[in-house]
Amino acid sequence: MYLHWSVHQQKIIPMNFRQRLEKRWKEKKYICVGLDSDYSKIPSHIKKGTVDKVIFNFNKALIDQTHDLVCSYKMQSSYYEAEGSKGLEALKKTVQYIKKKYPEIPVILDAKRADIGSTNLGYTKAIFDELGFDAVTVNPYLGGEALKPFLNRKDKGIIILVKTSNPGSDEFQNLKINGKPLYQIVARQVAKKWNKNKNCAVVVGATYPGELKIVRKIIGDMPILIPGIGAQGGDLEGTIKNGKGKKSWGMIINSSRGIIFASSGKDFPKAAREATKDLHNSIIMVQNKHA
């Protein structure tokens, strides 16, 4: 648990997801490294021992090389679930390692959970209490009432899908209701009704910079998780120009494959650091250009 001193209350209190993000943003750190650790793509030279050990050692090497350049880490649950109990053990061990070694860095589970309220109670317990994540992505399709078990967790980050990065997102997300695309209606619902605990964020893909600009206007300074940079070919300059809030904050710029699989050789940790550093420098350069 990451703590800070509260002068007003004269005691040490835990920092929530948003507060820890803001601390990283103050240091001009906006990259979210996606630890999408597909076992089949992990360099063969470290595939020694059980699956959980291999995935954890791969993640650990990446984390140790990039921790000073990131605002967060995100793990796509499917890559871990695909490996059964050993994959889930690697997931838990990775979160525990970050909490112990770099507790100031928030950790996101990309799970896109969506179900009725009673089932979501189980999800929140598993994701936040058992696995130890600081934030999770959720699907808005079942409505705010169903999401209450997530939204009630004031200290956590609830990241709602608004405009995803995949090419087929238009099929439903751009459908018009009373003249407005559905993604805009969802963004407005998050900002006006679901964010009572100031713990919401949204997902908007870097592959849609125009929509990103519109969503930023709707939600104000709420954090935006922005996937699609790197392997998906997202527009970095458009992302920063349209995605930044006040003080250039508010961006969680995710890159996964372009960083963690930058090399398949023994130099993969160093290659991951160089890829992260290059992205960091590019972000700062674009920020300065549009300051």
* CATH number (domain holding residue 91): 3.20.20.70
Q: How many CB atoms lie within 10 A of CB 92?
A: 17
8 A C-beta contact, residue 46 and residue 54:
yes
Instruction: Please pick, among 93, 99, 112, 270, the residue that the annotation labels catalytic.
Output: 112
Establish if 111 belongs to a structural domain. yes
pLDDT for residue 3: 54
What's the confidence (pLDDT) of residue 7?
46
Report yes or no on 242 lying in a domain.
Answer: yes
2, part of any domain: no
- Residues 170-187 have pLDDT tens digits of 999 999 999 999 999 999
In a domain, 3, yes or no: no
Residue 1 lies in a domain: no
Q: Cβ(73)–Cβ(63) under 8 Å?
A: yes
Answer yes or no: is pLDDT of 5 > 80: no
pTM: 0.94
- Return mean pLDDT, the chain: 93
Tell me the mean pLDDT in the region 73-88: 98
pLDDT at position 6: 45
- Residue 155: phi and psi, rounded to 5, are -85, -10
Which has the closest alpha carbon to 233: 166, 283, 162, 174?
A: 166
What pLDDT is recorded for position 282?
A: 95
- What pLDDT does residue 8 have? 47
104 or 288: which leads in pLDDT: 104
Query: Is 289 one of the catalytic residues?
Result: no
Cβ neighbourhood burial of 115 (10 Å; 0-12, 13-18, 19+):
middle
Quick check: is 161 in a domain? yes
Q: Quick one: DSSP state of residue 265?
A: S
Taking the C-alpha atoms of residue 13 and residue 172, their distance in angstroms, rounded to an integer, is 42
Residue 126 pLDDT > 80, yes or no? yes
CA gap 253, 29 in Å, rounded: 10
Please indicate, yes or no, if residue 98 is contained in any of the structural domains.
Answer: yes
Q: Which of 115, 176, 164, 118 is nearest to 142 (CA)?
A: 115
Domain count, the chain: 1
Strand extents, DSSP E, the chain: 3-6, 11-14, 31-34, 70-76, 107-113, 135-138, 157-163, 176-177, 180-181, 200-204, 224-226, 251-255
Domain around 263: 17-289
Asked if the structure places residue 265 within a domain, the reply is yes
Q: Are 252 and 30 in contact (CB under 8 A)?
A: yes
N-term to C-term CA, the chain? 34
